[in-house]
Amino acid sequence: MMAKTPVNFTLNGNDRAAFAEDGQNLLEFLRRGVGDMSPKYGCGQGTCGACTVLVDGETHLSCLVLAETVDGKEVRTASGLSSPALDPLQTAFMEHFAAQCGYCTPGMLVSARALLDRNPRPSREEVIEAISGNLCRCTGYEPIIQAILAVAEGRARA
C-alpha cells in the first residue's frame, strides 16, 4: 500500500485539504485529487506550459512539482481567475480571438496574470518573455500578445 500525505493549502483563496498519493505531482493532485480541471496535461515534462499554476504568486509547472510541497501554500489556477467576475485578461482573450482549441489557454492566462501582477505595464517584449514557456499550436501567439497588451494598456474593458 502506498503512503498518502495530507496536504493543507489554499486553492484560489479557499482552504482545501486532500491526500496526495506517494510521488504524485501537483497537476494530477489538482485534477484527480481536488477536482480542479483547469490545469492541463500536455507533456508531463515541463515543456509545454499547459499545466502552469501560481504557487505563492510564482508561476510553476505543476507537472514538475511534488503535490506535498504545496502544503501550507497558496495555489492559484485559471479556474480561480473568474471569481467573482471575469478577469480583464479573460475578457481580452475573448475579444481578441486569443484562443482556438482552448487547451493552452488556462496556462497562458495564469502566466499572463503573474506578469501583470508584478508588472502592470509590460512592454511587448516583456509579454513575449512572460508567455515564452507556454506553447500554443493554434493561434500563432499574436492574438494572445495583443490581448495581454490590451489589458496592460488599459484598452480592454475590465
Q: Mask 110-129, x = binds another protein (CB under 8 A)? A: --------------------
**Omega cis (within 30) before 84:** yes
Q: How far apart are CA 65 and CA 154, in angstroms?
A: 34
Backbone angles phi, psi at 141, to 5 degrees: 75, -30
Site for another protein in 49-88 (CB under 8 A): 50, 77-79, 81-82, 86
Cβ at position 135, least distance to another protein in Å: 6
Q: How far apart are CA 126 and CA 121, in angstroms?
A: 9
47 counts as binding another protein under rule CB under 8 A: yes
94 counts as binding another protein under rule CB under 8 A: yes
Q: Total number of residues binding another protein (CB under 8 A)? A: 41
Site for another protein in 127-146 (CB under 8 A): 135-138
Cα end-to-end distance, the chain, whole Å: 50
Cβ at position 102, least distance to another protein in Å: 3
Q: Mask 3-22, x = binds another protein (CB under 8 A)? A: --------------------
Backbone angles phi, psi at 5, to 5 degrees: -110, 125
Q: How far apart are CA 110 and CA 86, in angstroms?
A: 13
Residue 40, number of CB atoms within 10 A of its CB: 21
**Interface with another protein by CB under 8 A: which residues?**
23, 31-32, 35, 37-45, 47-48, 50, 77-79, 81-82, 86, 90, 93-97, 99-106, 109, 135-138
